[in-house]
Structure 1
Amino acid sequence: MGRRVVVRRLLRGETGPTGGPAFTDLLGTCLSWRDGACVVQPETGAAVTIPIADIVSGKPVPPRPSVRQRVTVRDAELHTAALEGIETTPLGEWQLRYEPAPSGRVRNRFNSCLGVGDPGMPVADAAHAVRSFYSARGRSPRIQVELGSANEEALRALGWQPVPGRDSHFLLASLSRARRSLEPADGSPSLEVDGPRVRAVLDGVAEGRAVLDGVAEGRAGLDGDWLGIHDLQVAPEHRRRGRARAVLAALLEWGAERGALTVWLHVETGNEPALALYERLGFTRHHTCRYYSTNPLSTSQS
């Protein structure tokens, strides 16, 4: 029991549109099948008890995707703008993203056009506008697209090329489930809060006789009830010791205290250890994105 089903049943005493018996379909979760009756719980309302003799047909159906998975790619990716307070400019449904004062390296996510949806003009004209926008700001022109989308095909036809090694999965999860699944870790990161954004730094973990500095850090941004995690990193000599878990736990707790329900992040497709970690925490893949550029081998962005 507990399986999602659709059941067609007879409506006794009612006449169908052709003059014969009337039937109706019920979609829900089968709670029980015994004592001559089937009990189905629809998504809303009370459970329905159906005599088995009145069931004409029935079949299992796949579970309905979670509310989070039903969010469009564009709506999911638009949460990026909350991470570092980047400047955004609309280009139809596309979005030009620019980070005037990068903190460290210039990151693709904050300095590229979100090329999802309809730019409101031919893709060739939109691509030219993107190139002009970023060239005027000293950035490599880059467009982020959903892997396998029509926009990707159009950019390829225009001669734009994928940026090597930058394909990434957009993962999301229930924040409460991720917190429950996260194993305890030593260390209490300090938090630097800037409005809807936070930086967690683990820089004073006692280990033996030494106190380690610059062990691990990570950042997060809150947009509505969505918490985005980014730049989670651990010094090479301190990896595989639970440092990332300690930072992640601090970021999730900070988000939960502010009403976040969903947590999301990007992970490069080749980062198998990170993907395995997030899968254990209940993250699932929403979509995969790829960056395109007229100069894909440029080292000015990462």
Structure 2
Amino acid sequence: MGQSRSPLGVADLERLAARGWRAPEEEPLGGWLMRAGGGFTGRANTALVAGDPGCPLPEAVEAVAAWYRARGLRPGAQLPGVQARRADAAFAAAGWDRDEDVLVLTAPLVAGPDGGVPVELAGTPDDGWLSTSGYLRRAEPATARAVLTNAPEVVFASVRADPPPAPPVAVARGVVTGDWLGVTAVAVAEEHRRRGLATAVMAAVTRWGAARGAGWVYLQVTSSNAPARALYRRAGFVEHHRYHYRWAPS
């Protein structure tokens, strides 16, 4: 993958990524997007702060808080890039807690090579996939699947060391939105790391995305995940922008 600069700005890329990780319930607040997905993942249960909410920022913060509390969820906001600084200050003034930075990385899409590791591709994640990804620790399977499969073109990649019902030892999710491939949920069982399995599932997902016309790829990684950041840097990804979450006081 080369080092060309992404053709999308921060707000447009975040809106595209939101279409690739869609919550079952969404409602706009001006240019912001409030999302609820049963508490499964920050991306599906926070307000995407991109654009003008159509009202003064303190009122927008209160509207977000009320929307999530009405659904029994802790109010949260996703604040991407420098364009969200004024809104971030408003959430901070209301006492909302800040999480660590998440890096959004992009690269021109080049289909990865077939390195000889058998990778299974499926249209839905089974319980083994959810277990390896870690999502079974965060939500009931039905809640997780409602978010993970809520896209027109989505794939779930798995590498297995043993036949089912043994869980996979490496997994990844891919979603094509327009001409972009989003790669998420790359995970490898601890005892199988440093064997090239993350590279294998990513290569399979990029081949799948390229076959569907995607020309660019994005992914997200927390700033504290040094091994993953090194893997993606070697694969040619560059930082596009960062975002963080804010959460209302409990």
TM-score tier by shorter-chain length is 0.7 to 0.9
Q: 1:128 aligns with which of 59, 62, 86?
A: 62
* TM-score, length-scaled by structure 2: 0.79
User: For 1:152, what is the secondary structure of its paired residue?
Assistant: helix
Is 2:11 the counterpart of 1:74?
A: yes
The AA in structure 1 aligned to 2:51 is G
Partner of 1:154: helix, strand, or coil? helix
Query: Is the CA contact (8 Å cut-off) linking 2:10 and 2:81 kept in structure 1?
Result: no
CA shift in 2, pair 1:185/1:139, >3 Å: farther
- Which of the residues 224, 229, 245 maps onto 1:270? 224
- Unpaired stretches in structure 1, ≥5 consecutive residues: 1-64
TM-score, normalised via structure 1 length: 0.66
Specify the code of the residue in structure 2 equivalent to 1:92: G
Alignment-mate amino acid for residue 285 of structure 1: E
Q: Is the 8 A contact 1:187 1:205 kept in 2?
A: no
Counterpart Cα distance in 2 of 1:175 and 1:122? 40
The SS at the match of 2:43 is: helix
Q: SS where residue 173 of structure 1 aligns? A: strand
Q: Which one is further off, 107-116 or 258-267?
A: 107-116
Is 1:109 the equivalent of 2:109?
Answer: no
Q: Distance in 2 between matches of 1:170 and 1:283?
A: 9
- The CA deviation at 1:84 is 4.0
> Compared with structure 1, are the counterparts of its residues 253 and 270 closer, same or farther at alpha carbon in structure 2 (3 Å cutoff)?
same
1:197 aligns with 2:154: yes
Q: Deviations over 1:6-65 (max 9, x none)?
A: xxxxxxxxxxxxxxxxxxxxxxxxxxxxxxxxxxxxxxxxxxxxxxxxxxxxxxxxxxx9
Cα distance between partner residues in 2 of 1:238 and 1:290: 30
How far off its partner does 1:146 sit? 2.4
Partner of 1:219: 173
CA contact (8 A) 1:123 1:151 kept: yes
Counterparts of 2:220 and 2:72 in 1: how far apart (Å)?
25
Q: Is the 8 A contact 1:79 1:228 kept in 2?
A: no
Instruction: Quote the Cα distance in structure 1 between the aligned partners of 2:167 and 2:184.
Output: 21
- The verdict on how the C-alpha distance between 1:205 and 1:251 changes in structure 2, with shifts beyond 3 A counting, is farther
Aligned to 1:159: 95
Q: Does 1:187 align with 2:117?
A: yes
Deviations 1:118-173 (A, max 9, x none): 1111111111111122122222111011255222122212222203xx42001000
SS at match of 2:220: strand
Q: RMSD of aligned C-alpha atoms?
A: 2.3
Question: Structure 2: how far apart are the matches of 1:291 and 1:66?
Answer: 28
Q: Please, which runs of 5 or more residues in structure 2 have no aligned partner?
A: 124-148
Q: Which has the higher contact order (CA 8 A, sep 6+)?
A: 2
- CA offsets, 1:239-285, max 9 Å, x none? 11111111111111110000001100110011111111111111111
Superposition deviation, residue 220 in structure 1: 1.4
More strand as a share of residues? 1
More helix by share: 2
State the match for 1:234 in structure 2: 188
1:254 alignment partner, one of 189, 208, 226: 208
**Residue aligning to 1:59:** none
Q: Retained in 1: the 8 A contact 2:21–2:43?
A: no
Code of the residue aligned with 1:77 in structure 2: it is E
Q: What SS is found at the alignment partner of 1:132? A: helix
Give the partner amino acid of 1:72: G
1:168-195: CA deviation from partner (whole Å, max 9, x where unpaired): 001000111xx45x7x644222111264
1:83 aligns with 2:20: yes
Query: In 1, are the aligned partners of 2:61 and 2:90 still within 8 Å (CA)?
Result: no
Q: What amino acid is aligned across from residue 135 of structure 1 in structure 2? A: R
Tell me which structure has the larger Cα radius of gyration.
1
Q: Is the 8 A contact 2:22 2:44 kept in 1?
A: no
Which secondary structure does the structure 2 equivalent of 1:120 belong to?
coil
Aligned length: 217
Secondary structure of the residue aligned to 1:159 is: coil
Are 1:291 and 2:245 matched, yes or no? yes
